[in-house]
């Protein structure tokens, strides 16, 4: 957790960095909602980074990780889909 000096007198001059991501959606859920193939979408995300809204979620059923997207990540993915569609075939 990162702390930074601030001017807020209520907390004695300290402010806390708060992660603004409140939820994520897995690749499978996004693919289902968009009516797209999960593997095709995964290929589109090869150059996405955490800064683009792509994160990995780990749990006992998915020890290798599950791709997930913040809302910003879904927006970026939609932009990648549009770019892909606009390319000549």
Give the global pTM.
0.73
Pairwise CA distance, residues 4 & 16, whole Å: 6
Cα Dmax for the chain: 60
pLDDT of residue 43: 95
What is the number of alpha carbons within 13 Å of residue 43 lying toward its C-beta? 7
Q: What is the dihedral of CA 46, 48, 54, 55, to 10 degrees?
A: 70
Per residue in 10-66, pLDDT (tens digit) is: 555 555 555 678 899 999 999 999 999 999 999 999 989 999 999 999 999 988 999
CA distances 2 to 5, 15, 29, 57, Å, are 10, 9, 32, 22
């Amino acid at each position: 957790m990162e702390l930074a000096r601030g001017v807020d007198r209520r907390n004695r001059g300290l402010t806390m960095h708060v992660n603004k991501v409140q939820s994520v959606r897995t690749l499978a859920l996004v693919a289902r909602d968009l009516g797209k193939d999960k593997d095709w979408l995964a290929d589109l995300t090869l150059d996405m980074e955490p800064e683009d809204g792509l994160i990995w979620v780990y749990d006992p059923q998915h020890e290798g990780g599950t791709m997930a997207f913040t809302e910003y990540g879904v927006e970026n993915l939609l932009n990648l889909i549009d770019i892909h569609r606009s390319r000549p075939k």
